[in-house]
Amino acid sequence: MWPLIGIVVIVIGFALRFNPLLVVVVAALASGIAAGMDPLSVVATFGKAFNTNRYVSAPWIILPVIGMLERAGLRERARDLIAATAAATIGRILIAYLLLRQATSALGLTAIAGHAQTVRPLLAPMAEAAAERADPAITDAGRQKIRAMAAATDNVGMFFGEDIFLAVASILLIKGFLEANGIVVAPLQLSVWAIPTAVAAFVVHGARLWRMDRRLARR
Instruction: Give me the pLDDT at residue 156, please.
Output: 94
Residues 142 and 135: beta-carbon distance below 8 Å: yes
Instruction: Give residue-wise pLDDT tens across range 77-121.
Output: 777 767 667 677 888 999 999 999 999 999 888 878 888 788 888
In terms of DSSP H, where are the helices of the chain? 5-15, 20-34, 39-52, 59-71, 74-83, 90-106, 124-134, 140-161, 169-180, 187-218
Instruction: Give me the pLDDT at residue 97, please.
Output: 94
Residues, the chain: 219
In b/e form, how buried is each residue of 3-26, taking b as 16+ CB within 10 angstroms? Answer: eeebeebbeebeeeeeeeeebeeb
Give me the residue spans of the domains in the chain.
Answer: 2-55, 59-218
Instruction: Give me the pLDDT at residue 191, please.
Output: 86
Residues 202 and 100: beta-carbon distance below 8 Å: no
Instruction: Give me the pLDDT at residue 62, please.
Output: 64
Instruction: Give me the pLDDT at residue 216, please.
Output: 79
Q: How far apart are CA 99 and CA 90, in angstroms?
A: 14
10-residue averages of pLDDT along the chain (219 residues): 87 87 86 87 77 56 65 70 74 93 89 84 87 82 91 93 82 81 84 91 94 81
In terms of DSSP H, where are the helices of 113-168? 124-134, 140-161
End-to-end CA distance of the chain: give it in Å, rounded.
54
Q: How far apart are CA 59 and CA 63, in angstroms?
A: 6
- Amino acid identity of residue 25, one-letter, is V
Instruction: Give me the pLDDT at residue 183, please.
Output: 86
| Angle at CA of residue 49, ends 47 and 54, nearest 5° | 95
Instruction: Give me the pLDDT at residue 61, please.
Output: 62
Instruction: Give me the pLDDT at residue 38, please.
Output: 86
Instruction: Give me the pLDDT at residue 12, please.
Output: 93
Q: How far apart are CA 166 and CA 172, in angstroms?
A: 8
Instruction: Give me the pLDDT at residue 138, please.
Output: 83
Distance of CA 169 to the CA centre of its chain: 15
Please give the radius of gyration of the chain, using alpha carbons only, rounded to the nearest integer: 21
Q: Tell me the whole-structure pTM to 2 decimals.
A: 0.66
